[in-house]
Chains A and B, each alone.
Chain A
Amino acid sequence: MIRLESIDKVYRTERVETLALQNINLDVTDGEFVSIMGPSGCGKSTLLNLIGLLDAPSSGRLTLDGAPINGAGDKSLARLRNEKLGFVFQSFHLVPDLTVLDNVEIPLLYRSISGAERKKLALAAIEAVGLSSRVHHFPTQLSGGQQQRVAIARAIAGKPRILLADEPTGNLDSQMGEEIMTILHDLNRNAGTTVVMVTHDERFAQRTDRIVRLFDGRQVA
């Protein structure tokens, strides 16, 4: 489903050249739950951004569903992100001015569907994360755990086959973290969603199908 071959990522400024990732080779199969671990600054988020098509590799080959991504234009990448990928961020990144429903509808705004259909899909996603009673609340009226659940609802509203989660429990206490992990596992098992998760938490990583370990931009396991 996701294949990375000999991926390098170099950040260049006028004076410094930083090698963030070096020779990464990774295959994520359909329906797999993979966690990425490593110390801070080892390139975990960079790797997730490459898989999420938010950033481009400096060299190497990236394929999604067998189709090469290198060199794709802005519109094609936007369409791929919209149709195939869902994102969950550590700091939720909900739009504060929008209600839960409006936030969850965001990915669906970029699809050719009616307003009624959009609302139906968004409400179903909100129900899936157990927040039906908070549909018209604003993010600031919710707890951290609830906000992350909204973020998950937003990520799955468009029924993507891949969910990319960047430290989804990083800003939550252990109980809320457990709740979020339960939702992610449910999505993986019940809906067959492929999940790639960056985490610092060994306990959560151990519960996934596979752990990819990075150190100084290199894949060590």
Chain B
Amino acid sequence: MQSYVKLALKVLGRRKVFTLISLFGIAMTLAVLVVATAILDDAFEPRAPQSRFDRVLAITMVSMIGPRSTETMNPGYRLIHDYIYTLPGIEAATAFSEPAQIGIYRNGGRTDAQFKRTDAAYWRVLDFRFLAGRPFTADEEERGALVAVISDGLRKRLFRREAALGRSMEIDGRDFRVIGVVPDVPITRFAAYSDVWVPHTTARSSDYRHELMGNYNGIVLARTRNDLPRLKSEFAARVKRIPIDDPKRFNRVAASLDTPFESFSRGAFPARFGYDAAAVMRIILTILTLLFMTLPALNLITLNLSRILERASEIGVRKAFGASRGALVMQFVFENVVLTLIGGAMALVTGAALIAALNRVDIIPNAQFALNVRVLLYGLVLAAFFGIFSGVYPAWRMSRLHAVDALRGGAQ
């Protein structure tokens, strides 16, 4: 092994320009994949304030299906209230509106912010760390109290260095009192992302309470992960019993309780229900990753093939002294994996720099992407896979060289 590592590093040093080109291609490809992995990891792995999302199911869309048309929207509050809140054996359930941009007026100035209406259970399902104050209570929800929780970013924009608790701000022509401040949440955490949260009961009209389709999302927090399949099937049974508001146009309701990744996948495809969208999404992501890796892999294969002739004599010697084809394939793939692992290390450094830049600039609101152990592990696996993927064919070709021809310095 030590001898193979030594030789691998020496081989890389032989043609420095080609090695640098190879390493650049590998490093850039893997860096992009590392950043993509960090974004997906940030969106779908449980972490505050979505730490409990490994035992969460969400409903983010509902379809009304008729013989001539299908309408798909977010679920309305009524659907969540009547068919989600009442699911048996759950720890909690919450409804929250899609984030909407609003203007907040204070001291004659306007500040734009993302706004969510929700219920008191929201603060039990999500585990926000309060920097100051508290969440709104079930009583305040019931009464429609004009209270708000705001993000720290919004607090800085509205109140600068002053304390925010107890201060008021004007939203939709009414004064809301700030009762809590929470850290900023990245837009990738769909349930938690917002700047302002107010009780849904503060809406000027109560029409939303009667809507099957609207602009809400629902989340169920199960007691354990083992409960998730039961909750899914219970909800699926309930969906069949939902009365249809407009039976002339529609004859069926389609909706499902999904894991966050299933929910994201369902939203990405035009055909929403009736198949395993998450599985299709996983296949698509895998194919895209492979395609993305194919070009630099082909480049590496070409470079490796050109190196075979350079190493013909060595191949002949190894064969003469007892290397089987399999041993030679192993050696060459190993060398390629060493190359790609070096590229992988460079990719991690580049990826870390790109992630830091993404977190600094304001392209993705409140981005908090991180190069954690899991992402590092994914990076390592990707690099090793890339090394094997691009090394096997040249290695096989090399091992097929006839020993006598190889010793003469030529390929067959």
- Which residues of A are interface residues toward B (Cβ below 8 A)? 49, 52, 54-55, 74-75, 78-79, 81-83, 85-87, 89, 93, 95, 97-98, 102, 105-107, 109-111, 115, 154, 158
Q: Beyond the given A74-B325, A87-B321, A95-B314, could you list 14 further A-B residue pairs with CB under 8 A, ordered by the A residue number? A: A54-B320, A54-B403, A78-B322, A78-B327, A81-B320, A98-B7, A106-B317, A106-B318, A109-B3, A110-B323, A110-B324, A111-B322, A154-B321, A158-B321
Q: Which residues of B contact A74 (CB under 8 A)?
A: 324-325
The reply to whether B325 and A54 form a contact with Cβ atoms under 8 Å apart is: no
The reply to whether A78 and B6 form a contact with Cβ atoms under 8 Å apart is: no
Q: Which residues of B contact A110 (CB under 8 A)?
A: 321-324, 327
The reply to whether A78 and B3 form a contact with Cβ atoms under 8 Å apart is: no
A115 to B2, CA, bound (A): 9
Number of A-B contacts (CB under 8 A): 73
> Is there a chain A Cβ closer than 8 Å to B326's Cβ?
yes
The reply to whether A81 and B321 form a contact with Cβ atoms under 8 Å apart is: yes
- Which residues of B are interface residues toward A (Cβ below 8 A)? 2-3, 6-7, 10-11, 13-14, 313-314, 316-327, 402-404, 407
The reply to whether B319 and A78 form a contact with Cβ atoms under 8 Å apart is: yes
A52 to B404, CA, bound (A): 10
Q: Which residues of A contact B403 (CB under 8 A)?
A: 54-55
The reply to whether B404 and A81 form a contact with Cβ atoms under 8 Å apart is: no
- Which of A97, A111, A158 has the most CB atoms of chain B within a 10 A radius of its CB? A97
Interface of B, helix, strand, loop or mixed by DSSP: helix
Q: Which residues of B contact A78 (CB under 8 A)?
A: 319, 322-324, 327
A95 to B320, CA, bound (A): 13
A83 to B3, CA, bound (A): 20
B35: shortest Cβ distance to chain A, in Å?
A: 36
- Which of B2, B317, B323, B325 has the most CB atoms of chain A within a 10 A radius of its CB? B317
A-B contact pairs, 18 of them (CB 8 A): A52-B320, A54-B319, A54-B407, A55-B403, A74-B324, A79-B324, A81-B319, A81-B320, A82-B321, A82-B322, A85-B320, A87-B317, A93-B313, A93-B316, A102-B6, A106-B318, A109-B323, A110-B323
Q: A95-B317, A98-B7 are in contact. Are A83 and B322 (CB under 8 A)?
A: yes
Residue of A nearest to B317 (CB): A93
Q: Which residues of A contact B317 (CB under 8 A)?
A: 87, 93, 95, 106
The reply to whether B326 and A75 form a contact with Cβ atoms under 8 Å apart is: yes
A217 to B208, CA, bound (A): 99
Q: Which residues of B contact A111 (CB under 8 A)?
A: 322
Q: Which residues of A contact B324 (CB under 8 A)?
A: 74-75, 78-79, 110
- Which of B2, B320, B324, B407 has the most CB atoms of chain A within a 10 A radius of its CB? B320
A55 to B402, CA, bound (A): 8
The reply to whether A98 and B10 form a contact with Cβ atoms under 8 Å apart is: yes
Q: Which residues of A contact B319 (CB under 8 A)?
A: 54, 78, 81
Q: Which residues of B contact A86 (CB under 8 A)?
A: 321
A102 to B324, CA, bound (A): 19
The reply to whether B407 and A89 form a contact with Cβ atoms under 8 Å apart is: yes
B17: shortest Cβ distance to chain A, in Å?
A: 17
B177: shortest Cβ distance to chain A, in Å?
A: 74
B283: shortest Cβ distance to chain A, in Å?
A: 38
The reply to whether A98 and B404 form a contact with Cβ atoms under 8 Å apart is: no
